[in-house]
């Protein structure tokens, strides 16, 4: 097996491509969580984890407030919107990830 191939595969997994959604409203939420110019993998949740683990702000600002707002948005979205099973699973995973990152930051 080519040693460089396994290294490249690992790097690709580490990039954590953002999920996609059929519902355009959920897709907009995803675009807010995963910016195209992001410096770190994991979107907003990844930025919160980075802040907690290193004490460094990402892009010069804290992402905790944004994570709280998006968490609330996803919670409301899951209650109100008729989603496909796949989009509902995607939204729930995003919500769980934000909740876990905020827990790491000491925010419930």
**pLDDT tens for the 108 residues of the chain, in order:** 444 443 333 333 345 689 999 999 999 999 999 998 888 999 999 999 999 999 999 999 999 999 999 999 999 989 987 899 999 999 999 999 999 999 999 998
Domain count, the chain: 1
Q: How far apart are the first and last CA of the chain?
A: 46
Domain that holds residue 30: 3-104
To the question of pTM greater than 0.85 for the whole model, the response is: no
Q: How far apart are CA 23 and CA 18, in angstroms?
A: 15
List 61's β-bridge partners, or say none: 58
């Amino acid at each position: 097996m080519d040693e460089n191939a396994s290294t490249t595969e690992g790097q690709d997994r580490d990039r954590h491509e953002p999920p996609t959604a059929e519902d355009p409203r959920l897709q907009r939420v995803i675009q807010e969580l995963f910016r195209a110019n992001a410096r770190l993998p994991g979107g907003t949740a990844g930025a919160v984890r980075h802040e907690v683990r290193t004490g460094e702000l990402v892009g010069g600002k804290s992402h905790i407030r944004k994570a709280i707002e998006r968490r609330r948005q996803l919670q409301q979205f899951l209650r109100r919107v008729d989603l496909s099973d796949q989009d509902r699973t995607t939204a729930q995973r995003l919500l769980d990830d934000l909740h876990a990152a905020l827990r790491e930051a000491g925010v419930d």
